[in-house]
Structure 1
Amino acid sequence: MSAARVRHALAEDLDRVAELAAEHAAYEMATPPAPGLADRLARLLFGPEPPRLRCLVAELPDGRLAGYATCAPELSTWDGAEYLHMDCLYLSATERGLGLGPLFIEALREEARTLGLTEIQWQTPTWNEGAIRFYDRLGATPKQKLRYTLPVDPTA
C-alpha cells in the first residue's frame, strides 16, 4: 500500500478543501466560511490572473483528503524581503497523529524554496496547545502579537 502524501490541490479537490475549511473554522470557534468558498478558492488558485494563493492537501492512501494548508508570498517591511505566509494548516481530528503535519511542513519548505523565499511565518491561537507543541518541536520561534481584523465596506 502506498503512503500518505502532500501534494498541490487540484480543481476537483476544492469542494473537500471547503469542507475542511468549515471544520477548521468550527475547531477554532470562528465564523464558518460563506457559501461558495470552493469557487472563490478556484479563482485564487486557478483563475486568469497569476495565482495569489497556493493550496496543499494531504491525501491518504485510499485517496481521501485529510487536511489542507494554504500559503502565499508576503512582504516584510522590516526585513525588506518576501516570506511565505502560511495562512492555514488543518488536519481532520481523526487524521491527526499520522505524521501528516511534518509532511505539510516539508512541502511548505519546498514551496518556499521554489519561490526563492528563506522564511515561513504563520500564527496559531494561543489556546491551541497541540499545534504549539508541534511547532515548538519543529524549532519554530513564536512571536507575541495580537491579530486584529477590521471590516471594510466596499461601497463606502
Structure 2
Amino acid sequence: MTIRIAEKRDFEAIKKLIKAHATFEKASALSDDNLNRLNNYIFNTDIVECLVVELNNEIVGYTTFMKQFSTWNANYYIYLDCLYLNEKTRGKGIGTQIMEKIRKYAKSINCSEIQWQTPDFNKKAIDFYKKLGADSKTKERFIWKI
C-alpha cells in the first residue's frame, strides 16, 4: 500500500471514488463540469492538494486538503475537505496513515492545526477522529449559493 500525491493518470479512479463518497454522504454527485474544474485545480494549481491510496495497483482512497487562515488563531491551518476510503479498505489503519501524512505536511508549512467536518450520521468516522485525539466542535454549516 502506498499513499502518494495524485497524478493525472489517477483522475479516473479519483472520480469514481468521489462519486462513491457523494453517495455515502447522501449528497449529489459532482457534475462533469465540476469534475473538470476539480481536475484543473488538483493538477494545475497550488490551491488544493490531493493524495491517493494505492493498493495492488488500484486507487482505493483519496483525500483533498488546502491551507487556510484562521482569524481567531492568527495562523494558518490545513482544511481537510475530503477523506474517503472504499469500504474494503476501512478499518485497516490506512486512515491513520493518511492523517499522519497530512499532519506532517501541515507541520512542514507551519500550520497550527488541521480542521475538518463529517456528517453527524457518520459514527464510524467520528469514532475514528476521536481515537486520533481530535476535538469536535458543534456548529451549523451554511451554504449561500451565489
- The TM tier, using the shorter chain, reads over 0.9
TM-score, normalising length: structure 1: 0.89
Matches within 5 A, 1:39-54: 39-47=36-44, 50-54=45-49
Opposite residue 123 of structure 1, the aligned amino acid is Q
Structure 1 position 24 matched with structure 2 position 18? no
Aligned length: 146
In the alignment, the residues of structure 1 paired with residue 66 and residue 58 of structure 2 have an alpha-carbon distance, to the nearest angstrom, of 25
Kindly indicate which of the two structures has a greater share of residues assigned to helix: 2
Deviation at 1:120, TM superposition (A): 0.4
Deviation at 1:36, TM superposition (A): 4.3
Which stretches of structure 1, 4 residues or more, deviate above 6 A after TM superposition?
Answer: none
Opposite residue 94 of structure 2, the aligned amino acid is L
Opposite residue 7 of structure 2, the aligned amino acid is L
Q: Which residue does the alignment assign to 2:92?
A: 98
RMSD: 1.2
Question: Percent identity among equivalent residues?
Answer: 36
In the alignment, the residues of structure 2 paired with residue 110 and residue 42 of structure 1 have an alpha-carbon distance, to the nearest angstrom, of 25
TM-score, normalising length: structure 2: 0.94
Q: Which residue does the alignment assign to 2:58?
A: 64
Unaligned runs of 5+ in 1: none
Opposite residue 46 of structure 1, the aligned amino acid is F
Deviates more, 1:73-82 or 1:121-130: 73-82
Q: Which residue does the alignment assign to 1:125?
A: 119
SS at match of 1:147: coil
In the alignment, the residues of structure 2 paired with residue 88 and residue 98 of structure 1 have an alpha-carbon distance, to the nearest angstrom, of 19
Q: Which residue does the alignment assign to 2:145?
A: 151
Which digits, 9 at most, give the CA deviation of each residue in 1:86-137, with x for residues without a partner?
Answer: 0000011122122211111111112212222121000011111000000000
SS at match of 1:151: coil
In the alignment, the residues of structure 2 paired with residue 42 and residue 33 of structure 1 have an alpha-carbon distance, to the nearest angstrom, of 12
Which digits, 9 at most, give the CA deviation of each residue in 1:39-96, with x for residues without a partner?
Answer: 322311222xx41000011111x11111111000011111111100000000111221
In the alignment, the residues of structure 2 paired with residue 95 and residue 108 of structure 1 have an alpha-carbon distance, to the nearest angstrom, of 19
